[in-house]
Amino acid sequence: MLILGSSSVASATDIYREPWHWGADIPSVVLPVKPKDTVRRPSDFDHFRFREGTSMREVTAFFGIPDGFAKQFPVTRTEGVPTSHVGEGAEAGTFRYLLRGGGEVLITVKDFHTITLVRRYGRNGSEREIYRR
């Protein structure tokens, strides 16, 4: 009976660790007025001044249009938590920029005006936190 209980707990938490479901449809409210080529160098993300009040529209104006958007928050580089499971609003999710030479930058937003987390992942799986609100 104890083993069955442990199994039930494990399956109940699996809903919080799902593969990413990236979409190519970027919400129009974050698109810059004049789109430019997307930045692909990791060092550009390291030197950008993310701060409280930075909006996704400012980010896309500087870095270009992201490669994807998911209605999920990061758990790991390969898994996410659907925003509906944690009671977040319609504008919550994660934007993805693919980097030259491999790797990616994930920008998590509570809404399109509030960036909560920016992480860069190397092609080898390394992780670097760039900003946290």
Name the pairing type of β-strands 79-82 and 93-98: unpaired
Q: Which amino acid, residue 54?
A: T
Most confident stretch, 77-81, 88-92, 112-116: 112-116
User: In sequence order, what are the beta bridge partners of 32?
Assistant: none
**pLDDT tens digits, one per residue of 36-74:** 788 788 888 888 999 998 999 999 999 999 999 999 998
DSSP state of 29: G
pTM: 0.83
Q: What is the pLDDT of residue 10?
A: 42
Delimit the domains of the chain by residue range: 2-132
Question: What is the CB-side half-sphere exposure of residue 53 using CA atoms within 13 A?
Answer: 1
